[in-house]
Homo-oligomer: A and B are copies of this chain.
Amino acid sequence: MRVAVFAGDGIGPEVTAEAVRVLQALDLPGLDLIEGDVGGAAYRKHGHPLPAETLEIARSCQAILFGAVGDFSLDHLERALRPEQAVLGLRKELGLFANLRPATVFKGLEDLTTLRPEVAAEIDLLIVRELNGDVYFGEKGTRTLEDGRRQGWDMMSYAEDEVRRIAHTGFTAAMGRSRKLCSVDKANVLETSQLWRDVVIEVAKEYPEVELSHMYVDNAAMQLVKNPGQFDVIVTGNLFGDILSDQASMCVGSIGLLASASLAEGTYGLYEPIHGSAPDIAGKGLANPMATILSAAMLLRHSFGLEEQAARIEAAVSTALARGVRGGDLGGSAGTREIGDAVLAAL
């Protein structure tokens, strides 16, 4: 069991340390944790946010536990050297094409969102976002047009196999939940979306039990405000998924609790909290490590099939919450280490 641990920037190291303690407490036979540098931390040490050494470690492992990257003081660098490029690089190099972002309101925490509690209580959705294509990875550049004007451009595209693959992920996820899948696109404007929609409809034939619907992205952004409880699984492209998954996460209110998985074909995956590097509170022992601990649970489940151990971690987090242990993000005052201790105690 080889797991890469990439803690990254800001609060990344603190929250990752607690998740590592939880993993170690499980006494998993043969668990090997290998640390590597990513993000701004890696840039400072190696001159690149995703050094070759790090990529090699990733390739030698079966899964990655990831903290957070991001460092405003490196914003002046050319884009290819900025911390966030580590995320994009890992996704592409390792073929992490399926981002699973569950958004569920934890019982008793309905008060934390800006949505009315009765609206928030209904939220239990999973966003399946494609991560390897779309306008993210197309050709792009800045050019000077014939008439002398500068123009920035980015090619958006999806090929049928890219859509088919993520559609299968979406339908499979829906089969394991309430069998409703909503595919989000902008087919009234984009050819990329029209192909997306056509392929999703083709794939649907293999999942006759799943009820498929289609929604334009602008309407989806509206419906996530109006009635987020209507959604079960949403499948969408890289760009729309970026926007909608962040919107959905904030609807839940407790962003310090949300974990995510980025999966390759097979069992390989990268697991990370959805929150960022939070430089304002970094190094102070104030960050809530629960989302990272829950990411470690996802890691055990998806990459190693250790359902029981994953469920144990999740139950321990719930117990700690039920006992009133709350980080600052949840309106409480428990520190990083204290929360880690509480989860370990509950374990």
Q: Using a CB-CB cutoff of 8 Å, which residues 29-75 of chain A contact chain B?
A: none
Evaluate contact between B242 and A217: CB separation under 8 angstroms.
Answer: yes
- Is A194 close to B, CB under 8 A? yes
CB distance from A175 to the nearest CB of B (A): 26
Evaluate contact between B156 and A155: CB separation under 8 angstroms.
Answer: yes
| A222 touches which of B225, B239, B247 (Cβ 8 Å) | B247
| A116 touches which of B116, B136, B140, B193 (Cβ 8 Å) | B116
- Is A158 close to B, CB under 8 A? yes
User: If the complex has contacts A145-B159, A156-B154, are A221 and B244 also in contact, measured as CB distance less than 8 A?
Assistant: yes
- Is A280 close to B, CB under 8 A? no
Instruction: Name the interface size band of chain A.
Output: 35 or more
User: Inside 8 A of A153's CB, which chain B residues have their CB?
Assistant: 138, 155-157, 191-192
Question: Which of A84, A135, A140, A196 counts the most B-chain CB atoms under 10 A from its CB?
Answer: A135
User: Inside 8 A of A223's CB, which chain B residues have their CB?
Assistant: 250
- A263 and B59 CA atoms in complex are apart in Å by 53
Evaluate contact between B250 and A225: CB separation under 8 angstroms.
Answer: yes
- Is A226 close to B, CB under 8 A? yes
Question: Which of A88, A142, A190, A219 counts the most B-chain CB atoms under 10 A from its CB?
Answer: A190
| A154 touches which of B192, B221, B242 (Cβ 8 Å) | B192
- A196 and B151 CA atoms in complex are apart in Å by 9
CB distance from A153 to the nearest CB of B (A): 4
Jot down 21 A-B pairs with beta carbons below 8 A, ordered by A. Answer: A79-B188, A114-B226, A115-B225, A116-B116, A135-B135, A135-B189, A140-B191, A149-B161, A152-B157, A152-B193, A153-B155, A153-B192, A154-B156, A154-B157, A154-B191, A156-B156, A217-B243, A218-B243, A221-B221, A221-B247, A222-B246
Q: Ordered nearest first, which 6 A-B pairs have the shortest CB separation?
A: A152-B195, A153-B157, A225-B250, A221-B247, A218-B246, A152-B192
